[in-house]
């Protein structure tokens, strides 16, 4: 009888593709989607459609399995609280500090910010931005609009805003990628990417494709590092 570990059982139930496609792991980018709360399934679907291998990240150790991380939309206070409770704050900070790409949509943008206008709630402080929560109004003020995102080229991106934040302030290292009514709604800082809207809900794939490029870049750099490290180690043994 085959005895599975809790991790293997959990992956098989929640992330069947991850296990089934283990053979592809060498080639395909591996992206984890933080699955504490929010629309993580929709992000997985877009990424899988683009050829990535995805898994739901529910334990901080899962970060070791992935080349990139998505923080989905949802409720930032809930995601932040659970992140704190399950030890994700340091885990994700370390992941990003090691060059790991992180993409946050909507609540994910808030979580990645260094501060929010409203005051205090658990944040990761990955990006040098200050977010304003629910900036466009309440749930009933949700809207869809075509947004010009020059790095993705034409046509415009169909963007869904649901109790969305905007970026109130951003530091010198932050590149604003798109604005709506004069307010920044998408930004990049190195391999950190954020959108106030939900491309995963509108059939738009270019934001995730852009993120996968950052993931591929990170993999390349990291694997080269590993090769050069082992090469140096071998050199030391020989001499
Ligand atoms: N307003 C929510 C928050 O503050 C974000 C909404 C969303 O992710 N769609 O967390």
Map 191-220 to HEC letters: CEEEECCCHHHCCCCHHHHHHHHHHHHHHH
Quick one: what percent of the chain has pLDDT higher than 70?
A: 82
CA-closest residue to ligand 1 atom 2: 75
First to last CA, the chain: 49
pLDDT, residue 138, reads 85
Backbone torsions φ then ψ of 159, nearest 5 degrees = -115, 130
Give 200-224 pLDDT, tens digit per residue: 999 999 999 999 999 999 988 887 6
Distance from Cα 39 to the centre of ligand 1, integer Å: 11
Instruction: Give the residue-averaged pLDDT of 224-231.
Output: 48
Which of 31 and 8 is assigned the larger pLDDT? 31
Backbone torsions φ then ψ of 40, nearest 5 degrees = -65, -30
Query: Residue 30 forms beta bridges with which residues?
Result: 53
Please tell me if the CB atom of residue 76 comes closer than 6 angstroms to any atom of ligand 1. Answer: yes
Distance from Cα 110 to the centre of ligand 1, integer Å: 8
The whole-angstrom separation of Cα 157 and Cα 145 is 8
What is the band of 236 on the pLDDT scale with cuts at 50, 70, 90? very low
5 close to 34: Cβ distance less than 8 angstroms: no
Asked if residue 234 has pLDDT above 50, the reply is no
Mean pLDDT, the chain, whole residue set = 87
Please tell me if the CB atom of residue 30 comes closer than 6 angstroms to any atom of ligand 1. Answer: no
What is the band of 237 on the pLDDT scale with cuts at 50, 70, 90? very low
Distance from Cα 138 to the centre of ligand 1, integer Å: 10
CATH of 6-238, one of 2.130.10.10, 3.40.50.880, 1.10.3720.10, 2.40.160.60: 3.40.50.880
Distance from Cα 107 to the centre of ligand 1, integer Å: 4
The whole-angstrom separation of Cα 101 and Cα 211 is 8
Atom of ligand 1 nearest to the CA of 38: 8
As a three-state string, the secondary structure of the chain is CCCCCHHHHHHHHHCHHHHHCHHHCCCCCEEEEECCCCCHHHHHHHHHHCCCEEEEECCHHHHHHCCEEEECCCCHHHHHHHHHHCCHHHHHHHHHHCCCCEEEECHHHHHHEEEECCECCCCCCCEEEEEECCCCCCHHHCEEEEECCHHHCCCCEEEEECCCCEEEEECCCCEEEEEECCEEEEEEECCEEEECCCHHHCCCCHHHHHHHHHHHHHHHHHHHHHHHHHHHHHHHHHC
pLDDT, residue 239, reads 28
Instruction: Please identify every residue annotated as catalytic.
Output: 106, 198, 200
Which of 22 and 231 is assigned the larger pLDDT? 22
Which of 49 and 8 is assigned the larger pLDDT? 49
Instruction: Give the residue-averaged pLDDT of 168-176.
Output: 98
pLDDT, residue 227, reads 46
Task: Let me know the angle formed at the C-alpha of 85 by 80 and 90, rounded to the nearest 5 degrees.
Answer: 75
- Token pair listed for 195: 């959108």
- What are the C-alpha distances in Å from 59 to residues 17, 40, 88? 18, 15, 8
The whole-angstrom separation of Cα 29 and Cα 50 is 10
Atom of ligand 1 nearest to the CA of 107: 8
């Amino acid at each position: 009888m085959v005895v599975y570990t809790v991790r293997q059982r959990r992956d098989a139930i929640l992330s069947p593709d991850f296990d089934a496609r283990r053979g592809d792991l060498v080639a395909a980018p591996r992206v984890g989607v933080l699955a504490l709360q929010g629309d993580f399934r929709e992000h997985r679907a877009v990424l899988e459609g683009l050829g990535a291998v995805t898994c739901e990240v529910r334990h901080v150790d899962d970060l070791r399995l992935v080349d990139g991380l998505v923080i989905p939309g949802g409720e930032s206070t809930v995601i932040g609280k659970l992140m704190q409770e399950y030890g994700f704050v340091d885990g994700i900070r370390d992941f990003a500090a090691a060059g790991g790409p992180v993409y946050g949509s909507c609540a994910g943008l808030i979580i990645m910010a260094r501060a929010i206008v409203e005051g205090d709630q658990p944040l990761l402080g990955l990006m040098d931005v200050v977010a304003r929560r629910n900036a466009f109004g309440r749930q009933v003020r949700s809207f869809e609009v075509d947004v010009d995102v020059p790095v993705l080229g034409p046509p415009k991106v169909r963007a869904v805003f649901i109790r969305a934040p905007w970026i109130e302030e951003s530091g010198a290292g932050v590149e604003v990628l798109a604005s709506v009514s004069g307010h920044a709604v998408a930004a990049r800082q190195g391999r950190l990417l954020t959108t106030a809207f939900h491309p995963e809900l509108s059939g738009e794939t270019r934001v995730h494709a852009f993120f996968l490029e950052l993931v591929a870049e990170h993999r390349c750099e990291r694997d080269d590092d590993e090769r050069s490290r082992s090469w140096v180690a071998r050199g030391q043994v020989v001499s």
